[in-house]
Amino acid sequence: MNYIKINNLENFSVYQTFDCGQCFRFDPVKNIENENYSVEGVALGKYIRFEQPSPDTLIIYNSTEEEYERIWKNYLSLDADYSVVKDDIYHRFTDDDTMCSAMEYGSGIRILRQEPWEAVCSFIISQNNNIPRIKKIIAEMSRAYGEPIGNGYYSFPTPKALVEAGIEGLTALKTGFRAKYIYDAASRVYDGRLDLDHIKKCDTETALRLLQEVKGIGLKVASCSLLFGFGKTDVFPVDVWIKRVLDKYYPNGLDLNSLGEYAGIIQQYLFYYERYNNGGS
DNA sequence: AGCCAGGACAAGT
DNA sequence: ACTTGTCATGGC
């Protein structure tokens, strides 16, 4: 199988990046011919596989150098300098043991730059749900309403395809009360009431407000959408795990307005740290 | 059997 | 402006 190799990487772990709950379409590859950690799945409408033979090396199967520079480098946020991110966080929280431990623990996490619509739709599905089931629903949804891209994989469904699926089709995917939310979001994107390209250009406050016009998108889902699908890192999604972190480590409160432009990355370190320590799957 | 999961909403204070 | 019950579904 053809592959390319990227060298001299820092602050990057395939395992952590794809295990930290930010994306739902990748799974570990089992029974490969070596002992390296490897994940495979669908992103940007393509089947792709990432393998990490050593901490500073990445192998991408089924791709080319040209495609890496054009697509995957950006998708994996490998064009960002995370030593700058970590320095910024470290200087804000030098004496905060929780923050430093969390950052150290998830030191290989990169915030993926997923497609806007996929992020919006995925995090609508995520509400009051658990990650294994979110993944299952999205896999089924893609199989039913996405396009086949080979080897039994399917692209993420377009808004148009989900509008055509209708509330009934979406309910059949076991989405429960979220079916009407997904439908509303798909409808708004399809008919232009929700302009994702425009949201990407908006300031964060405006983008949060516009996303929350959709039925079923509140502050948390809007924040996750912006962080994982629109490249906006100055949001701080608060879910049940983060609430737990705030109660447990910050009984006197954590000033959520002093987190800086990498608030979302801070949040992801804390999320991953707490979720692991409590045996989440 | 009951509680929980990367919440949001409506109704009630 | 805060609190509470409800919403589907499946794993534990």
**In Å, what is the separation between the CA of A119 and the C1' of C2?**
30
Is A220 known to be catalytic?
Answer: yes
What's the token pair of residue A32?
A: 């490969």
The residues of A between 161 and 180 with beta carbon within 7 Å of nucleic strand C are 171, 174, 176-177
Q: What are phi and psi of A234, to 5 degrees?
A: -95, 35
The whole-number pLDDT of residue A277 equals 78
**In Å, what is the separation between the CA of A56 and the C1' of C1?**
51
Q: What is the DSSP code string of A82-135?
A: HHHHHHHHHHHSTT-HHHHHHHHHTTT-------HHHHHHHHHHTTT--HHHHH
Determine if strand C comes within 7 Å of the CB of A201: no
Q: Are strands A37-43 and A46-54 parallel, antiparallel or unpaired?
A: antiparallel
Mean pLDDT of A18-37: 93
Apex A92 CA angle, A209 and A15, nearest 5? 75
pTM above 0.75, yes or no: yes
Q: What is the mean pLDDT of chain A?
A: 96
- pLDDT of A240-256, one tens digit each? 999 999 999 999 999 99
- pLDDT of A105-158, one tens digit each? 999 999 999 999 999 999 999 999 999 999 999 999 999 999 999 989 999 999
Kindly name the residue from A220, A232, A243, A248 that is annotated as catalytic. Answer: A220
Q: Which helix (H) or strand (E) holds A249?
A: helix A240-249
Nucleotide nearest the Cα atom of A218 (by C1')? B8
The residues of A between 61 and 100 with beta carbon within 7 Å of nucleic strand B are none
Protein residue at shortest CA distance from C1' of C10: A133
Flag whether pLDDT at A35 surpasses 70.
Answer: yes
Cα-based distances in Å from A212 to A163, A167, A205: 19, 20, 11
Which nucleotides in chain B have some atom under 7 angstroms from a protein Cβ? 4-9
Sign of the CA dihedral running A106, A108, A113, A115: negative
The whole-number pLDDT of residue A31 equals 79
Helices (H) and strands (E) in chain A, counts: 14, 7
Protein residue at shortest CA distance from C1' of B7: A127
- pLDDT of A168-198, one tens digit each? 999 999 999 999 999 999 999 999 999 999 9
> Three-state secondary structure along A14-64?
HHHHHHCCCCCCEEECCCCCCCCEEEEEEECCEEEEEEEEECCEEEEECCC
**In Å, what is the separation between the CA of A15 and the C1' of B12?**
46
* Of A19, A14, A11, nearest in space to A273 by CA: A19
CB distance A273 to A106 below 8 Å: yes
